[in-house]
Amino acid sequence: MNILGGLPRMTAPLSRSVEDYLKTIYQLARDGHAATTDIAERLVIAPASVTGMIKRLAESGHVEHEPYRGVRLTPQGRAVALAVMRRHRIIESYLITKLGYDWATVHVEAERLEHAASDDLIERMAFALGQPQYDPHGAPIPTRDGDIEQVDLVPLAEVAAGSRVALRQVEDSDPERLRYLKSLGLVPTVEVEVTDRQPFGGPMTVRLEGREDQERVIGVELASCLLVERR
């Protein structure tokens, strides 16, 4: 069986640094653009170094820089970013489903492996998993053709009291936060009702469907890390 099918192959491998930049720009883009200061903060790199890399990425045709707006990916850069994200999210799914990794620590492991895994290995993993659509933290997995699901999600922190939502995605960079969310039952697909919101940035109370100890009180900072779909 030909698992790869017509999956395009890159003519020359890109460095880990280039892949990280392109993935970061995609994730930070607002209105199609990402600020260089935000890129520097996310990658923990000096702004001057980011400026130099952006120049090189522009010369290679991966990004375009627009004064006063920031950086945006070209179709070539977007394809690379989505390919890296696909590798990362398939690896996370495989490590948890097949190798018993914990959802709190798998992100760091996938960060290490996403630059080394071949297209063939990733597609074999995806095939073994039954072509999953979402990773363990609820993020959509890009297809091998470069498509990605676009869903209108909002942070739980922005949901008004009395609203019912479905938790779809959690921010996955902090292992301790992920462990805490799991202990609360705040994981993707759970149905949540916001029963109370305190003013001036105070905590909010949510009720989880299908749990005996249903109510949870969480801070706005934590609620900002939870992306939900309105009902």
pTM of the predicted protein model: 0.88
Calpha distance 199→225 (Å, rounded): 19
Q: How distant, in Å, are the alpha carbons of 76, 88, 183, 191, 218 from that of 83?
A: 11, 9, 32, 31, 35
Q: What is the DSSP letter of 148?
A: -
Pick the last residue of a domain from 149, 166, 197. Answer: 149
The answer to whether residues 31 and 132 belong to one domain is: yes
Q: For residue 101, what is the domain's CATH number?
A: 1.10.10.10
pLDDT digits (tens, 9 = 90+) for 202-216: 999 999 987 767 899
User: Alpha-carbon distance 116 to 65, whole Å?
Assistant: 29
Same domain, 97 and 182: no
Which domain-ending residue is among 126, 149, 172?
149
CA angle 109, 115, 120 (to 5 degrees): 105
90-148: pLDDT as tens digits: 999 999 999 999 999 999 999 999 999 999 999 999 999 999 999 999 999 999 999 99
Boundaries of domain holding 163: 154-230
Same-domain pairing of 192 and 135: no
Q: Are residues 158 and 143 in the same domain?
A: no
CATH number at residue 180: 2.30.30.90
- Final residue in a domain of this structure, among 149, 180, 211: 149
Stated length of the chain: 231
Q: 133 and 161: one domain?
A: no
